[in-house]
Amino acid sequence: MTKLLNGNQVAMKIRKEISNEIVKKIVNKKQRVPHLGIILVGENHSSRIYVNSKIQECKKIGMQSTLIHLHKNIEEKKILEIINNMNNNPMIDGFIIQLPIEKHLNQEKIISSINPKKDVDGFHPENFGKISLKNTKSFFPATALGIITLLERNNINIHGKHTVIIGRSRIVGLPTSLLMSRKATFGNSTVTIAHSYTKDLSFYTKHADIIIIAVGIPNFLKGKMIKKGVILVDVGINNIHNSKKLLGDIDFDSVNGIASYISPVPGGVGPMTRVMLLKNTLHAALHYRIK
Ligand code: NDP
């Protein structure tokens, strides 16, 4: 029987821990609650759903949030001004720009203009670089942190295990590969990164102890591509024909009974990602708040 890596359950526990920490370290000291800023550009349907759920998550644990929703044709200069204001606003502890952003905007330039101490998505080059160092004070991208925390809280040993990560995006695959392979208490995995140029993907997946997949193709990984007992983490969120049904990147039915564990979609990595954003925001409030 394949067991589920239940992200909802783990996220609920972590939410409670964060909530307790807010009370103990902030509210009881008569300080203001952590405040997350969210910049959303345009009307992308999925982005709006993600942003709404982030706002709801803040409410659940007593964090403040502010949404700045901008028109899809906004000029880059104007966004940089808004970011500069948020960087200097002592009432905002951390903020994010919901990705992807409109094509006419230079994503790298915009991300690089965020103050690294408020970059709770962990995408600023300074924070990204620190992932490979043992720097626990920086921000790790929420999905990558969510994935390793999901494994850690399920007592899955990753030391010396062969992890195949399918997908190398800066949001998921790449930072996850760095966290999994770090020389750290929870790390030391031997990582192979696969992508769209990888030849004979099954060769790698059949030799994997752990597979983390983030390609954005529904039911991509099949039972015939894996070995018995493998641990599967499905990051994919594929909205089928804009219906309410979400599919992961793993063909659940065909791996069921072969894999030892699988993170379901929905209810696996998604809730972990959202709660890790809260964790990063709390981190910003505790360590970097502008006095
Ligand atoms: P990207 O499109 O940025 O990256 C996809 C990656 O998959 C690329 O590295 C690409 O390779 C690789 N890829 C595409 N086709 C193949 C193939 N046939 N074989 C092997 N590799 C392939 O996507 P994201 O990383 O942003 O997102 C991936 C999925 O994860 C999406 O479904 C997204 O919705 C979901 N997601 C879920 C989150 C959550 O919290 N659960 C958070 C973020 C994303 P190449 O680099 O060569 O193009």
Cα gap 198→164, rounded to integer Å: 12
The CATH number given to whatever domain includes residue 265 is 3.40.50.720
Please check whether residues 89 and 195 belong to one and the same domain.
Answer: no
Q: What's the pTM value of the predicted model, to 2 decimals?
A: 0.96
Which residue's entry shows tokens 């089928």?
240
Please check whether residues 95 and 187 belong to one and the same domain.
Answer: no
Please report whether residue 248 resides in a domain: yes
- Which residue's alpha carbon is at the smallest distance from atom 8 of ligand 1? 167
Note the pLDDT of residue 133. 79
Please check whether residues 109 and 196 belong to one and the same domain.
Answer: no
203-209, Cβ contacts within 8 angstroms, sequence gap of 24 or more:
204/164, 205/164, 205/166, 207/162, 207/164, 208/162, 208/163, 208/164, 209/161, 209/162, 209/163
Please report whether residue 125 resides in a domain: no
Please report whether residue 119 resides in a domain: no
Please check whether residues 146 and 109 belong to one and the same domain.
Answer: no
- Which residue's alpha carbon is at the smallest distance from atom 36 of ligand 1? 236
The pLDDT of 95-120, averaged and rounded, is 96
Q: How far is the CA of 236 from the centre of ligand 1 (A)?
A: 7
Please report whether residue 12 resides in a domain: no
The CATH number given to whatever domain includes residue 69 is 3.40.50.10860
Best residue among 54, 57, 205, 235 to mutate for probing ligand 1's pocket (most ligand atoms within 8 Å of CB) is: 235
Please check whether residues 207 and 104 belong to one and the same domain.
Answer: no
- Which residue's alpha carbon is at the smallest distance from atom 25 of ligand 1? 169
Please report whether residue 171 resides in a domain: yes
Please check whether residues 81 and 153 belong to one and the same domain.
Answer: no
Cα gap 256→159, rounded to integer Å: 25
Domain that holds residue 37: 31-114
Please check whether residues 183 and 103 belong to one and the same domain.
Answer: no
Please report whether residue 135 resides in a domain: no
Q: How far is the CA of 172 from the centre of ligand 1 (A)?
A: 8
Q: Which residues are catalytic?
A: 54, 98, 121
Please report whether residue 191 resides in a domain: yes
Dump pLDDT digits (tens) for 231-267.
999 999 998 876 778 899 999 999 999 999 999 999 9
Give the binding-site residues of ligand 1, using a 6 Å CB cut-off: 143, 166-169, 171-173, 194-198, 201, 214-217, 235-238, 269-270, 273
Please check whether residues 206 and 89 belong to one and the same domain.
Answer: no
Please check whether residues 213 and 150 belong to one and the same domain.
Answer: yes
Dump pLDDT digits (tens) for 144-178.
999 999 999 999 999 999 999 999 999 999 999 99
Q: What percent of the chain has pLDDT over 90?
A: 92
Residue 46 CA: nearest ligand 1 atom is 34
Helix axes 7-25, 142-153, angle to 10 degrees: 110
Q: How far is the CA of 131 from the centre of ligand 1 (A)?
A: 20
Please check whether residues 40 and 151 belong to one and the same domain.
Answer: no
- Structural domain total, the chain: 2
- Residue 26: pLDDT band (50, 70, 90) is very high
Q: How far is the CA of 191 from the centre of ligand 1 (A)?
A: 17
Q: Which of 70, 94, 114 is the last residue of a domain?
A: 114
Residues 6+ apart with CB under 8 A from 77: none
**Could you tell me where the DSSP H helices lie in 66-106?**
76-88
Please check whether residues 101 and 213 belong to one and the same domain.
Answer: no
Q: How far is the CA of 280 from the centre of ligand 1 (A)?
A: 23
Please check whether residues 63 and 151 belong to one and the same domain.
Answer: no
Please report whether residue 14 resides in a domain: no
